[in-house]
Structure 1
């Protein structure tokens, strides 16, 4: 008898630590077309360059993974991160790949289902791009470059709830289903601030909590648990 393997996971990302890429991102800013005076353009670039750099955290080519949290079926959440966040991204990715390989049993013909929120357009895409950049070959069963609506091994809670190409936050679903929402102390936009402030452990806890919420949402969506 085979047993289904569900792997719930989430990642947290920050902007690149590469000076070259950071300078590229900030030097290619394009001011509004009605800005003509050099001093006005320069002031606009100065005002917006930090925001442009921070947005690199959403780009797998220009960003970096600092934390991966995952849980298998009903097991406790595991979190992979490093106090040396600036230099250990590759080891974080390798450990995640190694960990999920242990869940794959070819002899039992089981391919894990990967479950997350916005994972098809963000988490899996980001991991795929970072794996290429870092030269870390991912497991063959990890459904990279696929979509949940045509791949039985992906379950994206955002797509399942809102439909293709629509957006809904994790918190909105939590509130709708009566699941305790996230607090306001930290969210994805604040991760870089927390990391810089030496609070990588708090980021890891936040990431782990998201995995717990995704698992609770998945169970409600699939009528595994009942409404309270």
Structure 2
């Protein structure tokens, strides 16, 4: 990780929601498949309806992506700035197409790309890839890690960095920032509220701002690992 230039990093984070607003909006076949998927975790306090509202977003088969935020370092006059862009919308296919267009232009220009994020190996990258297949889109080579050897996969996952080989350990992005004395941007929502903000308030902008904050926090963690000065607010540019 230390040897990877900041300019080659693409920091990403995604926000997802259930594909339908509620369990009863799905047809019977999908309701059955959801009940089959979630049955082992149901209890007297958790109904199928409640489980769908609370958990469907984390499964690519039952959820959809509504926002992808990307961030990248730019070296100017021997100082780094960090630029953040969000792609959000209700049409997931359009959103994913725009995302891959941006990455294709990046690779054409720089020839190198290293994804970076918190828990991206287990969540963000697989989720994006699955949803691209579901939407009938071609999976670009730089997202097709399935047939690559582990040492050919260039990706930085801050969750994995913190594990140091301890596979039992899990740390949230918020806790990791706190431990490393990185001031996290103030959030007016958290991950558990994204579905409500989307389905009830239709506020994509609010969700995008939340997503961008996670990208910035990951960037700061990378700088901490590299023993470099943290970004100041004046060096963070939303584009």
| Other-structure match for 1:30 | 39
Report the CA distance shift for 1:124/1:70 in structure 2 as closer, same or farther (over 3 A): same
Q: Which blocks of at least 5 consecutive residues in structure 2 are unaligned?
A: 75-81, 233-239
- CA RMSD of superposed structures (Å): 3.1
Q: TM-score, with normalisation over the residues of structure 1?
A: 0.80
1:176-187, aligned counterparts within 5 Å?
176-183=179-186, 185-187=188-190
Contact 1:128 1:144 in 2 (8 A): no
Q: Deviations over 1:92-136 (max 9, x none)?
A: 000000001111038x6x320100000000000101110111111
1:186 deviates by 1.4
Q: Deviations over 1:10-44 (max 9, x none)?
A: 000001227237523554353799xxxxxxx9xx4
Contact 1:57 1:64 in 2 (8 A): yes
| Other-structure match for 1:98 | 101
Report the CA distance shift for 1:144/1:13 in structure 2 as closer, same or farther (over 3 A): farther
Residue 198 (structure 1) aligned to one of 180, 198, 202: 202
Report the CA distance shift for 1:133/1:178 in structure 2 as closer, same or farther (over 3 A): same
Report the CA distance shift for 1:156/1:149 in structure 2 as closer, same or farther (over 3 A): farther
Determine if the alignment matches structure 1 residue 213 to structure 2 residue 222: no
1:51-66, aligned counterparts within 5 Å?
51-66=51-66
Q: TM-score, with normalisation over the residues of structure 2?
A: 0.76
Contact 2:18 2:52 in 1 (8 A): no
Contact 1:148 1:155 in 2 (8 A): no
Matched position secondary structure for 2:194: helix
| Other-structure match for 2:192 | 189
| Other-structure match for 1:36 | none
Contact 2:69 2:208 in 1 (8 A): yes
**Post-superposition, which runs of at least 4 consecutive aligned residues in structure 1 deviate over 6 A?**
146-149
